[in-house]
Structure 1
Amino acid sequence: MNAHDPAWAQHRLLASRRREFLGAPIHALTMAETLAIADEAMTLRRPLHHVVVNVAKLVNMRNNAELHEDVATADVVNVDGIGVLWGARLCGVALPERVAGVDIMINLLSLCDTRGYRLFLLGAEQSVLDAVRMRLARDHPGLVVAGMRNGYFKPEDEAGIVEAINASGADCLLVAMPTPRKERFLKRYRDELTPSFVMGVGGSFDVYGGKVARAPKLVQAAGLEWLFRVAQEPRRLWRRYYDTNTAYAALLCRELWGRRGRRKVDL
């Protein structure tokens, strides 16, 4: 059994870079620093639970106590969304850069290949997993994929899946399921999973496997990646983004107004 290691909270870099924004913990880390911590966890075999936050997750955390707990108790919390990066900076929270979950995953694949870490992939459709396997064989022929399992399973199947993950000897577990399902799964089995680095990657398998196109870098830099996604699946996504973006704008306005009021009191 791989019990949770509370010592990560005292890790020099993580302790010095922990911030808070809209009631959520975040770490002011670069991509290189994030990968170095993942490498450290897998080298030392110290269990580390990683999550990312974007606008939708920040909004949903306000109304979902379980999701808030799942994120707040993770060891590393990166800023995925450009909207969170800009909003935090606007509120005076210094962050070095956006560290997107899909980019972390792609870099982790290279890290695991180079360092000989074993990988387990959980989630997405079986056809997507098959496409991911084929691309990995091209991109990283030396990478050891210890196991794969699609994300279509019932709650009663979870114990067996955890057993299969542990039996695989994987060092790194990537979970491609939607929020809050992936966060709940990783929190629920945190003390049982033996991979040293576990991370929820959402729809990143869909991107890597070619099912979903990622926005061009200029669109990402402009903060319009969400609009690119809506254009691909308008019926499914337009209301979700409308609701979360407007809710986030309201939260941000209240936060800025509150900070303005506190500054006046201090004067």
Structure 2
Amino acid sequence: MEFKAFLHHEYPGIQIACAIAPPFRPLSQAEDDAYTQEILNSGARILFVGIGCPKQEWWMYNHRDRLPLVMLGVGAAFDFHSGRVKQSPAVLQRLGLEWLFRLIMEPKRLWKRYAKHNPRFVALFARQLFNEKVLGRKEAAQ
């Protein structure tokens, strides 16, 4: 089921002002201008952008002056809710391990992203935790 059909099924009466599924490749300037104008002409006031990280963040940033509306990056939410992409089991979600499930499902696409960013996250988290524990003990002793 496509996401629009899912929304109409789950939320009867919902008003979807505009729905665009751009190609995966980079857009030409003419395509980008046409999509931007279509969004403007739709009268939408909130735009959910689900073209993946970090592409959606860059797209929203580059269009912030051209689209006077609220833009929210929703990542793969459209794919999850439409059933196109399987979500991890609830237990993995509760444990914060959905990323591991996604890596197993799409290793070619995700391994470089996770190999770069996950160790940085763990290192920064460990540093923050260490600083809080060390600083917390010092403050309690004083």
TM-score, normalised via structure 1 length:
0.45
Q: Who is 1:144 aligned against?
A: 15
Shift of 1:229: 1.2
Shift of 1:265: 6.9
Distance 1:238 1:179 in 2: 14
Call closer, same or farther: CA 1:221–1:264 in 2, change over 3 Å: closer
Query: Superposition pairs for residues 161-180 of structure 1, below 5 Å?
Result: 161-180=35-54
Segments of 5+ residues of structure 2 without an aligned counterpart are: none
Residues 207 and 214 in structure 1, CA contact (< 8 A), matched pair in contact too: yes
Q: Who is 1:181 aligned against?
A: 55
AA aligned opposite 1:163: Q
Shift of 1:257: 3.5
Call closer, same or farther: CA 1:260–1:216 in 2, change over 3 Å: closer
Q: Please say if 1:133 is aligned against 2:7.
A: no
Call closer, same or farther: CA 1:143–1:247 in 2, change over 3 Å: same
Q: Who is 2:94 aligned against?
A: 221
Bigger radius of gyration: 2
Distance 1:138 1:265 in 2: 57
Q: Please say if 1:208 is aligned against 2:81.
A: yes
TM-score, normalised via structure 2 length:
0.79
AA aligned opposite 1:134: A
AA aligned opposite 1:132: F
- Larger % of strand: which? 1
Q: Please say if 1:191 is aligned against 2:62.
A: no
Distance 2:54 2:99 in 1: 19
Shift of 1:261: 5.5
Distance 2:123 2:101 in 1: 23
AA aligned opposite 1:219: L
Segments of 5+ residues of structure 1 without an aligned counterpart are: 1-129
Write out per-residue CA displacement over residues 133-185 of structure 1, whole angstroms, 9 at most, x where no aligned residue: 22223222311111111132515132322211111011221101122221122
C-alpha RMSD of the superposition: 2.4
AA aligned opposite 1:188: N
Q: Who is 1:11 aligned against?
A: none
Greater relative contact order (CA < 8 Å, ≥ 6 in sequence):
1
Aligned residues: 137
AA aligned opposite 2:91: L
